[in-house]
Amino acid sequence: MIDLIIIGAGLAGLFAAYTAARAGQRVKIVAKGLGATHWHAGTIDVLGYYPTAAAPVTRPLDALRDLTRAQPPHPYALLDGALNDALENFLALMQELGLPYAGAANAGDNLWLPSPVGAARPTFLAPRAQLAGDLQRAEPMLIVGLQGLRDFYPHLIAENLTKQGHPARAALLPLDLITERRDSNTAQLAAALDEPARRAKLGAALKNIVQPGERIGLPAIVGLEAHRDAFDELQAQVGAPLFEIPTLPPSVPGVRLTNALRNRLRQLGVRIEINADVMGFHAEGDRVVWIESDASGRPLKHRAEKFLLATGGILGGGINSDHTGKVWETVFDLPLVTPPNRGQWFRARFFDPAGHPIFRAGVAVNREFQPIDARGARVFANVWAAGNLLAHSDSILERSLEGVALATACAASRAACHPKP
Amino acid sequence: MKRIETDILVMGGGATGTGIAWDAALRGLRVVLVEKRDLTHGTTGRYHGLLHSGGRYAVKDPPSAAECIAENRILRRTHAHCIEDTGGFFVVTPEDDNDYPDQFYAACQRLGIPCEEISVAAALKREPLMNPQARRVFVVPDGAADSFQATHSTAQAAQRAGATILTYHEVKQLLVEGGEGNRRVVGARVRDVARGEDVEIRAAMTINATGAWAGVVAQTAGVRVDVIPGKGTMLAVNHRIINTVLNRCKMPDDGDIIVPIHTVSVLGTTDERVQDPENLTIEPWEVELLLREGEKLIPGVSRARFVRAWAGVRPLYQEHYNGASRDATRDLTLLDHQTRDGVAGFLTIIGGKWTTFRLMAQVTMDKACEYLNNCKPCLTATTPVPGVEQGHYWLGHRLREVEEHHLQNELVCECELVTRAMLENAARNNPTLTLDDLRRDVRLGMGPCQGGFCTYRAVGILHQLKDEGRRTNDEGEVWEVAAMQSPAHNLASLSAPSSTLVFGLPSSVLLRDFLQERWKGLLPILWGRQLKQERLDELIYLALMNADHLPDQNVSSPMSDFYSRPGVSTTADQPPATDGGGAR
C-alpha cells in the first residue's frame, strides 16, 4: 500500500518524494514526462528580481520579507522556515550525492553567473562546476567555445561581459577535440567527455591558450555520468579555475541534477512511473481515492492514502488553457486563480519587468499547502500541492523557480506526512 | 548630401515597386528603388500567400478576376520557384447559399478560369480534414506564393538588368519644382536610416508604389490620394493541415479561405477599414471570427495549435469612395498626377493584389514611357527571374536536401530547417539590419517555437560574422537569391560580393528586437500548447539567459519602436493591483 502518490517528476515532485520518503512514508511518483528540470540551468534560483523591488536582489533571504509584504499571497509567504530547511537539506543531499552545490563566498548573497549571452545572472546556489564564474570575483575570463557548436557563442559572451566591466576574451577550439562526429548536441558532448582520453585532449588545448591569472568559462559539457572526476581532472590538468556556463535546453547541469535525485529516490525505494499521464480520478466525499493514468494505451488506477500535486504550471503542464480564455488545472480540475479573461493575460512588451499576468495563474493553497477554493475552503482532505502549480508567483520572472519548487515541496510534503484532520 | 540621378525613381519595395524596377530596367531605363525598411516589409510580406486563380472575384469583380487568371498563368512561368502548385477548392458548405455555386461556375467559364466540379468524396480523399458535410466542390488553379522569395528574386532580376535597390531608405519629401499650374515632381529626398544620412535622388519620373502609405507620400507633393486601408487579419496553424487552398464558395467574406504555405496553413482573412496602416491592432473578435469561420471549412480547426497572427493592409483605391473596405474594388488603379492634379513627372499605382503585381508594374511603366523617350516595350511577361529552373516549390525540398547532405547538425532553426550557412549567406549578401530581415530571407523563427532556440543562435552567428569582418568575393562566387532558401545550395559560407552587411547594432538590440517582433505576433493566439511553448521561451530568455538585463538597454534600432507598438488589444494595460480575479 502506498501512503503518498506524487504527481509530477520535476524538481518539486522529486524533492517532495525525497522529503516524504525520508520521513518514512511509502511514496510513488506518477508523471507524464521527465519534468522541466532538464530545461533549467541546474542552479537554485531563490529570488533575483520582483516587480516592486527597486534594484536586483542581492540578498534573497533578506528580500523575502519585503516581497511577502508586497505580495501577501506569494508562496514564499506561506512557509514557516521551510525555505531555509529546504535549502539546507538540498545542500546536504547534493553533497552526499557527489554533486555538491554552494552559494556565494559572502554567505547569503546571490551569485552572479555569466549567462550564455553574457548577462550577469542572479542565482542563490550553483553546482560546484559553475561557482568560479561568479562575477564578484576579479580574475579576467577566457570564454572557450567549440567551432560549430550551435548553442554556445564565446565571443558574444565575452563582449557583453566586458561591456559590463568584467574583462573577458574568447577563443574557439575545434570540435574534433571531443568528438569525431559532426555533433553539436551538448548532452552527447558531455557524455563524450566522460572518457578520460577525450578530456585530456581538451585539457591540453585549454592549457595552450590560457594566460596566467585567467579563469576559463566553458559550455556546460564537462562530463555527464563521470562529471565530478571529469571536472576535477580537467581543472587540475589546465591549472586554472574552470567554470561551466549552462546552455540552451537540454541543459546538462539540469540533467545531472535530475539523475542524481532520481538515483537517491530509487535507493529510498520510491517508484517513479514516467509516461503515465493522469487522465482521471475518483473521489469519495472530500477524499481522492484513486487517480487513473493512461499508459501504453490502457488505463491504470493508482490508489493511495494521500496525493501531492507537483505537475508544474503552464510550462510543466499542470495548467492548460484554450482560446475561449478557459484555464484549468489538468489533474483534479482544481479551482484556479487566473486573470478574469484573456484580455488580461499579457502585456505588450515581451520583456515587461512586471511580467505577464497569466503566468501568475495557479492553485491557491492554505498554510498546510492544501488547495482551496475562492472562499478559502479546502477542496480535498487528502490532496496537497507544491511547486510552480501554485498561484501568485511568476517564478521565471522572479528567478525563484527552484527556490519555490524546493521550499514548497518541502513544506507540502511535511504537511502531507502529518495531515491535520 | 549624396545625390543620385536616374530616369525612374520607384518608392516602395513591395511586390509592385520591385516589379516596376524590374520592368523599367528591362526597358533599358536607369532606375532606383527606395524602400523605407526591408523588401516586403509592408503588405506584400503580410498576406496569406494566395496565388489567385480569379475564382474568388469571378462573380463579384469580373475584371479583377480576368486579370488574376492571366497573371496566374504568367507568374507560373516567370516565378515558378516562388509558387507551390497546390490547386484550390471552392467548397459549398451547408451554410452557403444554394444559388451562388452555379453563378460561380458560369462566371469561371465566361472568364476562362479552369473550373471543374468534383465529387465531395473525391475532394475528401485529397483533403481528409475538409468538412465532410460539404455539398459541392469545385477545383480551380489557385496556388500558394512565397511573396518574400518572389520579391527578392524580382529584385535580383532588376539589379542584374541595372537597377539600384536601396532598402532602409525612407522618403522624407518629394522634390517639387515649378509654380502653380506648372508643378513637377523631380525626385525625392530620402533618409538612409541605417547610416543616418540624407540622399537626394533626382528622376525624370517618380513613381509612388507605397501601397497603403501612398497617401502619406503623395501628400509631401501636395497631392491628395485617399487610400482605403482595408486591414486583413490572418492566423497560422502550426503545420500543413491541408495541401490544397480551401475557399468558401460564396461571395467574398470574412474568414473564407485557408491557404497551405510552406510549413503552415493560414486562415484568412478579415477586412476592416482602418485609419493608420502602420499601427495595426488585432482584435480578439477577429481571432474568434476566423476560428469560427475556419470551423466551417475544417471542423475542429479551432482546437489546432496556432503559431502566429498578423495583419496586413490592402491598399484599396476607388475615387470618391466611402463604403466598407470589403466592398471596394480589388482592381488596380494608376493615377497620372499630371492629368489628375496638374503635377507632372509623378505617378501613383495602387489597388490590385499580389497576384497582379507584374501587371501593375507593366501598366505603370507603359504610362511612364509615354512621357519618356527611347523606352523598349514591356518584357516582364516573358522574362523569367533567376531561379525558375528550380521548378515549382514543394514542401519537402529543405528536408530532402538536409538529409541528402547530412546537414542535421548544421541546423540553426530546426522548425524551418535553416542551416548555419544559409543564415550566414543571407546575412552577408542581403542588406541585413535586424534578425527580422533574415526571417524574411530564410524563414528564421517562423515555426512552432517562434524563435525560442534560433534567436540566440542567430545572434551568436551574426556576432561571429561581425568579428570576422568583411571579406571580398572569391573568384567565381555568385550570390543566387533564388537559392537563398536551399540548404543544398548553401553548403559553404559564401563571402560577400558587396558590403551590404549593415551590422551596426549591438547583439542585445538584435535579440531584444526579434523577440519583441515574435511576441507581437504571438499575443493574439497564445493559449494551450503555444502558451506552454512561450513559457519555455521565457525560461530560456529570462531564467537561463537573463536577456532582459543585458547591456545596451538604451540603444534601439530603426525597428525597435515598430516592434514595440501594441499589435493586439488583448493586453493588460495596467498592472493588476492584485492577481486579479478569484478562483474559477
The helix, strand and coil proportions of chain A, stated in percent and rounded to the nearest 5, come to 35, 20, 45
When pLDDT is cut at 50, 70 and 90, the band that residue B502 belongs to is low
Phi, psi of B418 (to 5 degrees): -100, 125
- Give the C-alpha separation, A167 to A365, whole Å: 46
When pLDDT is cut at 50, 70 and 90, the band that residue B566 belongs to is low
Is it the case that residue B457 has pLDDT exceeding 70? yes
Of B288, B409, B571, the CB nearest to A347: B571
Distance from the Cα of A388 to chain B's closest Cα (Å) equals: 12
- Give the C-alpha separation, A130 to A100, whole Å: 11
- Give the C-alpha separation, B488 to B486, whole Å: 5
Residues 6+ apart with CB under 8 A from B563: B436, B513, B516, B517, B520
pLDDT at B422: 94
Q: How many CB atoms lie within 10 A of CB A285?
A: 8
What count of residues does chain B have?
Answer: 584
Is it the case that residue B582 has pLDDT exceeding 60? no
Domains, chain B, ordered by start:
2-43+148-227+329-382 (3.50.50.60), 82-143+229-313 (3.30.9.10), 397-564 (no CATH)
Tell whether A337 lies on the interface with B, counting CB pairs under 8 A: yes
CB contact under 8 Å between B412 and A150, yes or no, is yes
Cell 538515483, located at residue: A263
Instruction: List, as ranges, residues 90-119 from A with C-beta within 8 Å of B.
Output: 115-119
Residues 6+ apart with CB under 8 A from B548: A351, A353, B541, B542
CB contact under 8 Å between B516 and A350, yes or no, is yes
pLDDT at B576: 36
Residues A341-347, mean pLDDT to the nearest whole number: 92
- Give the C-alpha separation, A79 to A68, whole Å: 11
Encode pLDDT of B229-255 as tens digits. 899 999 999 999 999 999 999 999 999
Encode pLDDT of B56-106 as tens digits. 999 999 999 999 999 999 999 999 999 999 999 999 999 999 999 999 999
Burial of B413 (0-12, 13-18, 19+ CB in 10 A): buried
- Give the C-alpha separation, B251 to B238, whole Å: 28
Residues 6+ apart with CB under 8 A from A338: A327, A358, A361, B581, B584
Residue B388 is given by DSSP the state: G
- Give the C-alpha separation, B454 to B517, whole Å: 14
The share of chain A scoring above pLDDT 70, in percent, equals: 100
Arithmetic mean of pLDDT over chain B = 91
Give the nearest chain B residue to A151 (CA atoms): B457
Residues A315-326, mean pLDDT to the nearest whole number: 96
Encode pLDDT of B103-114 as tens digits. 999 999 999 999
pLDDT at A36: 85
When pLDDT is cut at 50, 70 and 90, the band that residue B495 belongs to is low
Q: Which secondary-structure segment (H or E) carries B397? A: helix B397-404
pLDDT at B559: 81
CB contact under 8 Å between B526 and A345, yes or no, is yes
DSSP readout, B180-233? Answer: TTSEEEEEEEEEETTTTEEEEEEEEEEEE--GGGHHHHHHTTT-----EEEEEE
Arithmetic mean of pLDDT over chain A = 95
CB contact under 8 Å between B547 and A119, yes or no, is yes
DSSP readout, B11-49? Answer: E--SHHHHHHHHHHHHTT--EEEE-SSSTTTTGGGGS--
Alpha-carbon distances of A302 from A267, A280, A381, B223, rounded to whole Å: 22, 10, 18, 76
Residues 6+ apart with CB under 8 A from B74: B358, B381
Position A141, amino acid = M
Distance from the Cα of A215 to chain B's closest Cα (Å) equals: 21
The torsion region of residue B345 among left (phi > 0), alpha (psi -120 to 50) and beta comes to left
Cell 481522492, located at residue: A288
Contacts of A315 in chain B (CB under 8 A): 532, 535-536, 539
Encode pLDDT of B211-234 as tens digits. 999 999 999 999 999 998 899 999
User: Domain segments of chain A: what residues?
Assistant: 4-85+257-311+351-417, 140-240
Q: Is B482 helix (H, G, I), strand (E, B) or coil?
A: helix
The helix, strand and coil proportions of chain B, stated in percent and rounded to the nearest 5, come to 40, 20, 40
The residue among B317, B271, B438, B241 whose CA lies nearest residue B64 is: B317
Encode pLDDT of B251-268 as tens digits. 999 999 999 999 999 999
CB contact under 8 Å between A323 and B540, yes or no, is no
Residues 6+ apart with CB under 8 A from B581: A337, A338, A339, A340, A344
Residues A75-80, mean pLDDT to the nearest whole number: 94
Is it the case that residue B500 has pLDDT exceeding 50? no
- Give the C-alpha separation, B8 to B556, whole Å: 33
Give exposure, A273-283, as e/b (b: 16+ Cβ within 10 Å): eeebebeebeb
Distance from the Cα of B185 to chain A's closest Cα (Å) equals: 41
Position A351, amino acid = F
When pLDDT is cut at 50, 70 and 90, the band that residue B556 belongs to is confident
Is it the case that residue B580 has pLDDT exceeding 70? no
Strand (E) positions, A8-147? 27-30, 101-102, 111-114, 120-123, 126-127, 141-146
Contacts of A121 in chain B (CB under 8 A): 544-546
Strand (E) positions, B406-544? 411-413, 418-419
Q: Which of B527, B533, B570, B574 is the best mutation test for A, with the most CBs of A within 10 A? A: B527
Contacts of B549 in chain A (CB under 8 A): 56, 119-120
Encode pLDDT of A368-379 as tens digits. 999 999 999 999
Tell whether A58 lies on the interface with B, counting CB pairs under 8 A: no
- Looking at CATH, the fold of the domain delimited by A4-85+257-311+351-417 is given as FAD/NAD(P)-binding domain (3.50.50)
State yes or no: cis peptide before A335, omega within 30 of 0: no
Position A139, amino acid = E
Is it the case that residue B568 has pLDDT exceeding 70? no
When pLDDT is cut at 50, 70 and 90, the band that residue B503 belongs to is low
pLDDT at A78: 95
Residues A103-114, mean pLDDT to the nearest whole number: 97
Contacts of A117 in chain B (CB under 8 A): 456, 459, 507-508, 511, 545-547, 550
Tell whether A378 lies on the interface with B, counting CB pairs under 8 A: no
When pLDDT is cut at 50, 70 and 90, the band that residue B496 belongs to is low
Cβ-contact B128, B375 below 8 angstroms: no
Contacts of B519 in chain A (CB under 8 A): 349-350
When pLDDT is cut at 50, 70 and 90, the band that residue A418 belongs to is very high
Phi, psi of B519 (to 5 degrees): -60, -40
Encode pLDDT of A130-187 as tens digits. 999 999 999 999 999 999 899 999 999 999 999 999 999 999 999 989 988 766 789 9
Phi, psi of A255 (to 5 degrees): -65, -45
Position A97, amino acid = L
Q: Which of A57, A337, A351 is the best mutation test for B, with the most CBs of B within 10 A? A: A351
CB contact under 8 Å between A346 and B570, yes or no, is yes
Give the nearest chain A residue to B561 (CA atoms): A349
Cβ-contact B361, B369 below 8 angstroms: no
Phi, psi of B157 (to 5 degrees): -60, -40
CB contact under 8 Å between B580 and A153, yes or no, is no
pLDDT at B243: 97
Pairing of strands B143-145, B83-84: antiparallel
When pLDDT is cut at 50, 70 and 90, the band that residue B432 belongs to is confident
Q: Which of B282, B406, B546 is the best mutation test for A, with the most CBs of A within 10 A? A: B546
Position B342, amino acid = G
Distance from the Cα of A319 to chain B's closest Cα (Å) equals: 9
The share of chain A scoring above pLDDT 90, in percent, equals: 89
Give the nearest chain B residue to A357 (CA atoms): B579
Alpha-carbon distances of B538 from A76, B403, B523, rounded to whole Å: 22, 31, 14
Residues B539-568, mean pLDDT to the nearest whole number: 85
Give the nearest chain A residue to B564 (CA atoms): A349
Distance from the Cα of B584 to chain A's closest Cα (Å) equals: 6
Encode pLDDT of A117-142 as tens digits. 999 999 999 999 999 999 999 999 99
Encode pLDDT of B349-389 as tens digits. 999 899 999 999 999 999 999 999 878 999 999 999 999 99
Of B459, B568, B581, the CB nearest to A340: B581
Is it the case that residue B476 has pLDDT exceeding 50? yes
Residue B384 is given by DSSP the state: P
As beta bridge partners, residue B232 has B312
pLDDT at B584: 31
